[in-house]
Structure 1
Amino acid sequence: MFGRIALFLATNLAVLFLAGIVMSLFGVHPGQMGSLLVFAALFGFGGSLVSLLLSKWMARRATGAQVIVQPRNETERWLLATVRRQAQAAGIGMPEVAVYDAPEINAFATGANRNNALVAVSTGLLRQMQADEAEAVLGHEVAHVANGDMVTMALLQGVLNTFVIVLARVVGGLVDGYLSGNRDNGGGRGLAYYAIVMVLELAFGLFATMIAMWFSRHREFRADAGGARLAGRQKMIAALERLSLNQGRSTLPAQVEAFGISGGIGQGLRRLFLSHPPLSERIAALRAAG
């Protein structure tokens, strides 16, 4: 926990320091710099941190996931026992375990605290996967929690948001000044400036999304490796092979989809915006590691 707090503080300081250097190089006034950095940090980190803190509630509400409090059947007893065993092996607190109604094979994990997370599986997974395969999927999700992926993703998104806000306004000011011939307009900004900033935020936002999705794909490889350690490498490979039955289908809402185990369909430029690597690459990575 303290390591995550230290990472958050260090990340904020790094953002402020680097943004300060960039703005100094572009000749932004110190007073303007301070105000812009505060504005960027509030809006850049605010949304991602609020989403992180509310992630469990939002995920349950969006998917209709029902947390297992008292097991009603043998399947639910097995789910709780398996997650409890894997959580102990991974050194984390027991997550909440939930089931949500969806036809495809899928599962996700979320939560702001590795000792108070949520692991949910679809009814399609319970119907279509063998016990060994489902065990590996649960190990994959527990590994996400143990790796602190939800917190790290929120921090990264906050950093990227902050840079997008700062750079769009710094570059927008330079472009606006150039186009207006650096005429003094009383210190105010015209409509052209705000139009330029909006375009730049869209452009920089695309690059920021590529970076975030690259990290998302990287953490899927790590979670696969973690699932292999917790459940067994052959079980993890079999689970990923079974996921090919999804054929790219997912009913997970957008705010949860990046945390699902299924994904990775796309070619060309679209590949840069995928949150998951193709299943064939994930399977190959597990076989190579073995």
Structure 2
Amino acid sequence: MPRLTLFRLFRPLLAASLMGAALAASAGGCDRSADPLPPGPQRVLFVGNSFLHGHAAPVLRYHADRVTDLNGTGYGGVPALFKQLADDAGLQVEVSSELVSGQTLRFHADRKLPLIAGQRWDAVVLQENSLLDPHHPGDAGAFVAAAGRIEAAVHERHAGARVYLLETWARADQVYRTPGGRWAGQTLEAMQADLRAGYAQAARAGCIAGVLPVGDATLRAVQDGVASRNPDGPIDDGKLRLWGSDRHHLSAWGSYLEALVIFGRLTGRDPASLGADSRAGRDLGLSAAQVEAAQAVASRQLRAGP
């Protein structure tokens, strides 16, 4: 058979082979490592909404001057709490945020990608809308696609960056206060299972270093008897308030727990090593016992895995 004919026959196979090799090389070039960030200065970016910037004082504007807010809105929030925890542990981190209240990752992918991918980051934390999809609660399809777009843009700029997904928490208002809603009349466990599955799906679909199990940690606080299960139910003496007054966002204690889980997973440090005198906890007005309770829950969750 003439060589030209052979080439024409095998050209589609060759092209497919080369494309597959290119995709494999691209996937292999990014960092899927679940290990802590390496020593030395680290640049960390947080992308999400009010589940990261916080809903009200003392979290919303907490040390806003120590976080580079790419949107210029002046939020401190959980990124600033993470910065304080890192400082307390003697770690060098520069923290930036790109946070817009109530929005999805699709919004950030559509409108904020130049801000997100315009700089070189060592770690990027992505947080999706608390319902996964506000129009179709519990559906992770749009989340998976948007996280993939952002992750690819980040890795195009710096293949060694680690991209994490921050798993959000079951909302008491959705379970106890939203008649006809997706999780109405169910349990916190049921909603958290849907969120966990959605984040796991998004992690499998892209070059993701790991899921930060914040939602699982908040559920653990309830299951371990540290925090109240139903903020509208009978008062549980001695138990902590996990959610704020809207039964949606976390309380100051819950936000401290959120920051501890992020800190522990990204740095590899045991949150309990920060001790009862944790500066971030004191700044939020928490007692030593409340600080230690949050640290213990975070430690147990991180030892348990994602």
TM superposition score normalised by structure 2: 0.26
Which structure is richer in relative contact order (CA contacts within 8 A, separation 6 or more)?
1
Higher-Rg member (1/2): 1
- More helix by percentage: 1
TM superposition score normalised by structure 1: 0.27
